[in-house]
Amino acid sequence: MNRADDPNPENDTPASDSAAGASLHNATDALIELRGVTIRFGKQTVLRNLDLAIPAGQTLAVIGESGCGKSVLMKTVIGLIRPTEGQVFFDGVDLATLDEKSLARVRIRFGYVFQNAALFDSMTVGQNIAFPLRQHADLSPAQIDDVVAARLAEVGLPRSVLAKKPAELSGGMRKRVGLARALVLNPEVVLYDEPTTGLDPIMSDVINELMLRTRHRYTVTGIVVTHDMTTARKVPDRVVMLYPIARLDEDEPQMIYDGRPDRLESVRDRRVRQFVAGEAGQRLSEMQQEGRD
């Protein structure tokens, strides 16, 4: 029996949500597309023969255990990691065909919200948010100040924080400053790397709401890498789940779920249901066996 099979025959919902329609899977109108992408670091394979098409305007959540390749996938999409095999297309262009200057121009069309905000400690909040504008936009200082103030207001922070250093802010405030900086160049795509990690439930939901508002206000395409199932249920149009290569058979696909958030609990694949429910289940047995080997 394939590991994806469910011993409970009463549950017949497919792991891939075909009812979600062509908007989930159709590559013909994809803004971002991965074709047969494999990523290896030395002898370790992190992504294997991955196909993924993301239409413009869609928000995709990528879930899965630590080490399954979620963050590597995000860095591959933006061209920071080159595929060992396969191709990555953005707006119809194969990123492998671009030189570094052209690739830098493509990256300006992305906003990146880092897991720990990744703010410059030596800069004020205002300087952090303004940094992309000073690097890439032909604006006067007054115009930059106006844009920074507007983005700060959008993430619910007062102007009084502009002169503060990141060390003076709470974790939730730093996350919001990171989001404001990611949005300052009006990106077409926003990448969120574990946006709610380390936050309490209320602040996590503030970040979720800000992601939803960003999606509707700017009609951006979004990719959210997350372990937070509240985020995975609330924010995206679509969820994909990756599984660690080391625990797959050679002929098993690495993407074990691709569908709507509201179908996660009812899929046939036991691995998906256990991850969504936060249950150790079969994984604990596997870890115990690995410890004996």
At 1 the pLDDT is 39
Per-residue pLDDT of the chain (293 residues; tens, 9 = 90+): 344 444 343 333 344 553 333 334 455 589 999 999 999 999 999 999 999 999 999 999 999 998 899 999 999 999 999 999 999 999 999 999 999 999 999 999 999 988 777 888 999 999 999 999 998 888 999 999 999 999 999 999 999 999 999 999 998 899 999 999 999 999 999 999 999 988 899 999 999 999 999 888 888 999 999 999 999 999 999 999 999 999 999 889 999 999 999 999 889 899 999 999 887 666 555 655 555 55
pTM for this entry: 0.85
pLDDT at residue number 199 = 87
Element (H, E) at 240: strand 238-242
190 contacts 214 by C-beta, under 8 angstroms: yes
Hey, where are the domains in the chain?
1-109+188-200+214-293, 118-186
Cα–Cα distance for residue pair 152/145, rounded to 1 Å: 10
The radius of gyration computed from the CA coordinates of the chain, to the nearest angstrom, equals 20
Write down the CATH number for the domain with range 1-109+188-200+214-293.
Answer: 3.40.50.300
Give the pLDDT score at 286.
61
Give the pLDDT of residue 278: 84
Supply the pLDDT for residue 282: 63
Q: Measured between alpha carbons, how far is 184 from 139 in angstroms, rounded to an integer?
A: 12
Q: Following DSSP, what letter does each residue of 164-206 receive, concatenated?
A: S-GGGS-HHHHHHHHHHHHHTT--SEEEEESTTTT--HHHHHH
| Phi, psi (deg, nearest 5) at residue 19 | -70, -10
CA distances from 186 to 19, 21, 83, 262, 280 (A): 33, 29, 28, 30, 41
CA dihedral 171, 172, 174, 175 (to 10 degrees): 120
